[in-house]
Amino acid sequence: MAHTAHTVKRYTGIMDWLTTVDHKKIGILYLLAGGLFFGIGGIEAILIRIQLIKPLNDLVSEQAFNELITMHGTTMIFLGVMPIIFALMNAIVPLQIGARDVAFPFLNSLGFWTFLFGGLLLNLSWIVGDVPDAGWTSYVPLADTTYSPHHGVDFYTIGLQISGLGTLLGGINFLVTIINMRAPGMTYMRMPMFTWAAFITSALILFAFPAITVGLILLMFDRLFSGNFFNVALGGNPVLWQHIFWIFGHPEVYILILPAFGIISDVLSTFARKRLFGYSSMVFATILIGFLGFMVWAHHMFTVGLGPVANALFSIATMLIAVPTGIKIFNWIFTLWGGSIKFTAANLYAIGFIPTFVMGGVTGVMLASAPANFQFHDTYFVVAHFHYVIVGGLVLGLFSGLHFWWPKMFGRTLYEGLGKATFWMFFIGFQLTFFVQHFLGLIGMPRRVATYLPNQGFDTMNMISTVGAIMMGIGTLMFLWNIFITSRQPKNAANDPWEDGRTLEWTIPSPPPEYNFKQTPLVRGYDAWWKEKMDGNKEMTPAEPLGSIHMPSPTILPFFMSVGLFIAGFGFMYGRDPFDNAILGFLFNNYIVSIIGLGITFGCMFLRSVYDDPGYHIEVEELEDKGGRA
Amino acid sequence: MMKRWQFSKRLLPLLAGLVLLLSACGREDLSTLNPQGSIAQSQFDLMKLSIGIMTGVVVIVFGLSVYVLVRYRRKPGDKSIPKQVEGSHKLEIIWTVIPIILLIILAVPTLKYVFAFAEDYSKDENAVKVKVTAHQYWWEFEYPEYKIRTAQDLVIPFGKKIAVELSTKDVLHSFWIPSLAGKMDTNRIDSLDKGNKNKMYFDAPEENVYRGKCAELCGPSHAYMDFKVKSVNQETFNAWVKEMQAPAKPFTGDAAVAEVFKQSCLSCHAVENEPKTAPNLKGIGSREAVAGILLNRERASESLDQAKIEDHLRKWIKETDDIKPGNKMGVIKLEDNEIDQIVDYLANYKLDSLEQINNGIPNVEE
């Protein structure tokens, strides 16, 4: 290293990962942690399906089954797919807008660690033995202490509050980043679709997550501090929980699917070598979906008895969402129309997404019709519908994005042949698993049943479904194997490994140096990099002279702040439990554990406030020393 | 050609599903695709309409996708740059307006049925009123007009509107008879009888036994919270009401066991019509199932199997926690001879009015 004038220590090894505030490394951390939880949720899914392979199976007990479905849903949504979305947003969005990092690198790190410790707390329930068992929706009164007396649901309320904090921080961070950190010339209407999707998703997070946080706090008070928010006998109302949950829960599905829309848009246009068809209507449709997403929550509650007027209004509002979604579907097809389509693994996932997502979309419209919903609601039809949207939509989108941006994130391209084989295994497995579930629901199988009687016509379709689930499991293992063998290859991905890259991330090395852009690029149009290529340029025109780059310092504080919340969570959970051990009893029953935990968190916040952190500079000599590659 | 084959592979599960759909719409007494009551029929009509529209959408999207993917795939070594199209206002207007039209076609009957299904028959003189109360994990049916109360088997006269009022004593449940009517949640009612008490109505067209299920996660035994709807003709129904109003059949065993039965069973259960915390036992020997889940016959065309009734009662008394984990009964400590006599009494506590339907309904489709 030619230059050593850093005011801050740069760490290596494990400390580097614990202290990093670099959005690219945080993206990788999100991917690792999200992948871990995705694996746990996947194992839970396979166990559920094996339990249901035949009537009256007794692989797991009824209680364990309810724990599995609760943890499968909660883990997959909050700890599996959302972090992987954040992984891609972190890894790619700053690059797509020509930024050197996110707006608040410290918050970014804090968001990751709170998510991770919240998720670990939730999953520790398996080790403690008190597992949440009231469904991922945790409807009261089933989730209150009368009907779920063990600590399971406490792990749910506290774990999700801590991890939800991380999500909210991440959402705010991306909003500010996209508003403030765009390179010169990168106007809103020149932003790549994935960035647009990340922007709208972040806005949805900003409005939706406070709702679930309030709900979780109310439920926590009911459970831990004898609150009565949902206690009918004392004037509380269980339907209130359902409203709060779904005011969050419905936007949540758009928080999940919009990034997939963004990924698909970028992947399809790249591999069709064609500009995204109807870009401005795509942007408008995304905004409209985000807006309407807040207007339809009660369609999850048609059978609650809100009355015909509410049911009618929410039916119509829900159907309206089909219009902007339809616009997107046709825009994608017409992006491919007239293009030059290359069937890479990433593109196969993106193409597979279209019909599968359409299936999920049309069943969504069917569900929107309240009178028919009385039959569909809480049956396997609904299970099929939301898995078509979340797995067939989002997860295929994530696989597509991971194959697409893997070289940018890691400098190595995943094996194409194996990637395509993985796609077919996963895709066929998916269709087998969930297509038949529509019919299971229609012929009378409710969801969340631990088993079913024979002679009801359910047997064959459940068997098919289980076989499909196992194929999806094998597909996931094939993807992991691909990662493993790819990691043993040299890091030799080109700046623009697909050669048809259109956006700014393909103008810099793979993986990018810590400062991303040696010189901030000047953006001259939509698909900035494509435009330069078409004009015969080999690189972007810089918008600034080469100068020293200001970098944020690494810090361990976010890690400890999250550890503090984790400890405090345990303290609150066991605050009223009797202990055999006098010392433990003293520490927990007087909330000393919680005070210590919160003390760590607030202490770190105090340190962060009083110690000025000016960051450090990477000087011009070092930039030139490193040349083109980091 | 390869791609074409891959696409037909993709369509295989879909075709397999369609075959399944055509070959079996499910059991007549269970499936929403084989509707029996007028409500389920309207819901099925709405489903057919929406499935029809949506199949059209799916076929168009699939067709376009397949065409595009086959027609515009990149040939090896092709370096050409396709024309960069920004969009097309005409096309975009088309695929905005057509979905709106399709949605209006679906929205009109939706609105019609939303209000039709919300009609209140609870004051209608011709309707039979039933108060349904859900418990972990059984169903209580009270007929306030006749001052009778039963559990698990909802007996109704066919051809009449059944006006149902729903609530729960513990967690939320959902009342669902797929082949007769869609579901409705049972909400908690406070001590002043205030709360979100739901109402619904349905009817059945003929003599049959329909399967009902709980559709809201309610604890470990959620899957076992089944019930049956027995629809009988008006005379049978009247006779049944009379029998239910009459005093209970006296215990048939020894005096000592009669006392045990009173102490151990009737502390929670009832054989008369008073409200108790556990299911009413009046005429339990004529019911379709023990505990809702141990079926005494597989289908209404068969006759109730007396050996099964006895076997199931015995099994339930001995292994209640294995059959329905989390239920409130628990295993009651009883001597074998006490169990024998109690099972004998309950299994033979028949209601004559239901004899005909319990002997099997001829000509019922599967």
Query: In this predicted model, what pLDDT tens digit does every residue of B96-138 receive, in sequence order?
Result: 999 999 999 999 999 999 999 999 999 999 999 999 999 999 9
Residue indicated by tokens 């102490």: B263
Residues of chain B with C-beta less than 8 angstroms from the C-beta of A446: 176, 213-215, 223
- Chains A & B: contacts with CB separation below 8 Å: 313
Mean predicted confidence (pLDDT) in A473-497: 96
Q: Identify the band that residue A5 occupies on the pLDDT scale cut at 50, 70 and 90.
A: very low
For residue A533, give the chain B residue with the closest CA: B81
**Is the pLDDT confidence value at A415 over 50?**
yes
Pairing of strands B198-202, B181-186: unpaired
Please report the pLDDT score of residue B81 as a whole number: 92
Residues of chain A with C-beta less than 8 angstroms from the C-beta of B40: 375
Contact criterion met (CB below 8 Å) for B225 and B137: yes
Please report the pLDDT score of residue B7 as a whole number: 60
Separation between Cα atoms, residue A21 and residue A106, nearest integer Å: 6
Contact criterion met (CB below 8 Å) for A139 and B217: yes
> Å from B95 to nearest chain A CA?
6
Separation between Cα atoms, residue A103 and residue B249, nearest integer Å: 79
Nearest to B27 among A307, A366, A457 (CB): A457
**B3 is written with which tokens?**
């791609």
Contact criterion met (CB below 8 Å) for A438 and A380: yes
**Is the pLDDT confidence value at A294 over 90?**
yes
Nearest to A457 among B24, B103, B221 (CB): B24
Is the CB of A371 less than 8 angstroms away from the CB of B58?
no
Which of A330, A455, A498 is most worth mutating to test chain B (most B CB atoms within 10 A of its CB)? A330
Distances, alpha carbon A181 to alpha carbons A102, A185, A449, A547, in Å: 8, 11, 49, 18
Pairing of strands B162-168, B128-135: parallel
Nearest to A275 among B74, B84, B170 (CB): B84
Residues of chain B with C-beta less than 8 angstroms from the C-beta of A146: 170
Please report the pLDDT score of residue A272 as a whole number: 96
Distances, alpha carbon A421 to alpha carbons A272, A416, A418, A428, B10, in Å: 21, 9, 5, 11, 14
Pairing of strands B128-135, B173-177: unpaired
Answer whether residue B337 is part of any domain. yes
Is the CB of A305 less than 8 angstroms away from the CB of B106?
no
B window 230-289, beta carbon within 8 A of A:
none
Separation between Cα atoms, residue A200 and residue A587, nearest integer Å: 44
Please report the pLDDT score of residue A2 as a whole number: 40
Is the CB of A375 less than 8 angstroms away from the CB of B43?
yes
Residues of chain A with C-beta less than 8 angstroms from the C-beta of B323: none
Is the CB of residue B185 less than 8 Å away from at least one CB of chain A?
Answer: yes
**A14 is written with which tokens?**
């494990």
**Is the pLDDT confidence value at A1 over 80?**
no
Residues of chain A with C-beta less than 8 angstroms from the C-beta of B91: 330, 334
End-to-end CA distance of chain A: give it in Å, rounded. Answer: 12
Mean predicted lDDT score pLDDT of chain B: 92
Is the CB of A61 less than 8 angstroms away from the CB of B325?
yes
User: Over pLDDT 90: what percentage of chain B?
Assistant: 86
Phi/psi at B300 (5° precision): -70, -15
Mean predicted confidence (pLDDT) in A486-500: 95
Is the CB of B72 less than 8 angstroms away from the CB of A339?
yes
Nearest to B53 by CA among B111, B20, B101: B101
Nearest to B31 among A63, A343, A443 (CB): A443
Please report the pLDDT score of residue B190 as a whole number: 79
Angle at A26 between CA A25 and CA A29, to 5 degrees: 90
Residues of chain A with C-beta less than 8 angstroms from the C-beta of B62: 355, 358
B window 325-354, beta carbon within 8 A of A:
325-326
User: Over pLDDT 90: what percentage of chain A?
Assistant: 93
Answer whether residue B7 is part of any domain. no
Is the CB of A375 less than 8 angstroms away from the CB of B178?
yes
Q: Within A337-395, where are the H helices?
A: 345-368, 370-376, 380-389
Residues of chain A with C-beta less than 8 angstroms from the C-beta of B308: none
Strand partners of residue B133: B140, B167
Nearest to B199 by CA among B234, B230, B161: B161
Residue indicated by tokens 């969930």: A434
Is the CB of B170 less than 8 angstroms away from the CB of A147?
yes
Q: What is the DSSP string of B129-177?
A: EEEEEEETTEEEEEETTTTEEEESEEEEETTS-EEEEEEESSS-EEEEE
- What sign does the dihedral B56-B58-B63-B68 (CA atoms) show? positive
Contact criterion met (CB below 8 Å) for B346 and B248: no
Residues of chain A with C-beta less than 8 angstroms from the C-beta of B117: 308, 371, 374
3-class DSSP assignment, residue A345? helix
- Residue A610 CB partners (closer than 8 Å, separation 6+): none
Separation between Cα atoms, residue B27 and residue A443, nearest integer Å: 7
Give the H or E element holding residue B185.
Answer: strand B181-186
Please report the pLDDT score of residue B10 as a whole number: 62
**A2 is written with which tokens?**
């030619």
**A111 is written with which tokens?**
């968001």
Answer whether residue B82 is part of any domain. no
Contact criterion met (CB below 8 Å) for A232 and A373: no
Give the H or E element holding residue A291.
Answer: helix A279-292
End-to-end CA distance of chain B: give it in Å, rounded. Answer: 44
Mean predicted confidence (pLDDT) in A273-278: 96
In this prediction, the answer to ipTM > 0.90 reads: yes
Please report the pLDDT score of residue B25 as a whole number: 84
The answer to whether the peptide bond before residue B137 is cis (omega within 30 degrees of 0) is yes
Q: How many residues does this entry show for chain B?
A: 366
Separation between Cα atoms, residue A500 and residue A503, nearest integer Å: 10
Nearest to A171 by CA among A200, A192, A194, A196: A200
Please report the pLDDT score of residue B13 as a whole number: 64
Mean predicted confidence (pLDDT) in A460-474: 97
Is the CB of residue B20 less than 8 Å away from at least one CB of chain A?
Answer: yes
Separation between Cα atoms, residue A254 and residue A297, nearest integer Å: 12
Is the CB of A66 less than 8 angstroms away from the CB of B65?
no
Residues of chain B with C-beta less than 8 angstroms from the C-beta of A320: 103
Contact criterion met (CB below 8 Å) for B244 and B273: yes
Contact criterion met (CB below 8 Å) for A607 and A558: no
Nearest to B96 among A307, A327, A339 (CB): A327
Residues of chain A with C-beta less than 8 angstroms from the C-beta of B81: 273, 340, 534
Answer whether residue B142 is part of any domain. yes
CATH (domain of B254): 2.60.40.420
Please report the pLDDT score of residue A347 as a whole number: 97
Query: In this predicted model, what pLDDT tens digit does every residue of A567-622 receive, in sequence order?
Result: 999 999 999 889 989 999 999 999 999 999 999 999 999 999 998 888 899 999 88
Separation between Cα atoms, residue B257 and residue B346, nearest integer Å: 13
Answer whether residue B98 is part of any domain. no
Is the CB of A331 less than 8 angstroms away from the CB of B176?
no
B window 140-159, beta carbon within 8 A of A:
none
**A258 is written with which tokens?**
């919009």
Answer whether residue B174 is part of any domain. yes
Is the CB of B174 less than 8 angstroms away from the CB of A303?
yes
Nearest to B25 by CA among B178, B215, B207: B178
Answer whether residue B59 is part of any domain. no
> Å from B100 to nearest chain A CA?
7
Q: What is the DSSP string of A500-529?
A: ---SGGGGS-SSPPTTS-SSPBPP-SSSHH
Residues of chain B with C-beta less than 8 angstroms from the C-beta of A281: 87, 92
Nearest to A304 among B92, B185, B191 (CB): B185
Please report the pLDDT score of residue A629 as a whole number: 43
Separation between Cα atoms, residue A83 and residue A105, nearest integer Å: 17
> Å from B323 to nearest chain A CA?
10
Angle at A229 between CA A223 and CA A233, to 5 degrees: 95
> Å from A224 to nearest chain B CA?
19
Is the CB of B21 less than 8 angstroms away from the CB of A439?
yes
Nearest to A439 among B17, B83, B220 (CB): B17
Nearest to A461 by CA among A484, A435, A485: A435
Separation between Cα atoms, residue B157 and residue B149, nearest integer Å: 16
Nearest to B215 among A329, A378, A435 (CB): A378
Residues of chain A with C-beta less than 8 angstroms from the C-beta of B301: none
Which of A442, A499, A532 is most worth mutating to test chain B (most B CB atoms within 10 A of its CB)? A442
CB neighbours of residue B258 within 10 Å: 16
Strand order from edge to edge, sheet including B162-168: B148-151, B138-143, B128-135, B162-168, B198-202
**B221 is written with which tokens?**
């035994």
Please report the pLDDT score of residue A4 as a whole number: 46
Distances, alpha carbon A546 to alpha carbons A7, A464, A542, A594, B320, in Å: 21, 61, 9, 50, 79
> Å from B145 to nearest chain A CA?
24
Residues of chain B with pLDDT under 50: 1-2
Considering just the CA atoms, what is the radius of gyration of chain A in Å?
25
Residue indicated by tokens 């002997």: B359
Mean predicted confidence (pLDDT) in A401-412: 97
Domains of chain A by range and CATH?
13-555+613-626 (1.20.210.10)
For residue A135, give the chain B residue with the closest CA: B217
Answer whether residue B16 is part of any domain. no
Is the CB of residue B5 less than 8 Å away from at least one CB of chain A?
Answer: no
Contact criterion met (CB below 8 Å) for A69 and A158: no
Is the CB of A340 less than 8 angstroms away from the CB of B117?
no
Pairing of strands B162-168, B138-143: unpaired
Is the CB of A63 less than 8 angstroms away from the CB of B172?
no
> Å from B215 to nearest chain A CA?
6
Residues of chain B with C-beta less than 8 angstroms from the C-beta of A277: 85-88
The answer to whether the peptide bond before residue A407 is cis (omega within 30 degrees of 0) is no
**Is the pLDDT confidence value at A241 over 70?**
yes
| Residues spanned by the domain of B181 | 128-358
Nearest to A215 by CA among A153, A149, A258: A153
In our burial notation (b when 16+ CB lie closer than 10 A, e otherwise), range B268-285 reads ebbbbbeebebbbbbbbb
Mean predicted confidence (pLDDT) in A68-97: 97
Number of domains forming the structure of chain B: 1
Q: A457: phi > 0 → left, psi -120 to 50 → alpha, else beta; which?
A: left
Contact criterion met (CB below 8 Å) for A333 and B61: yes
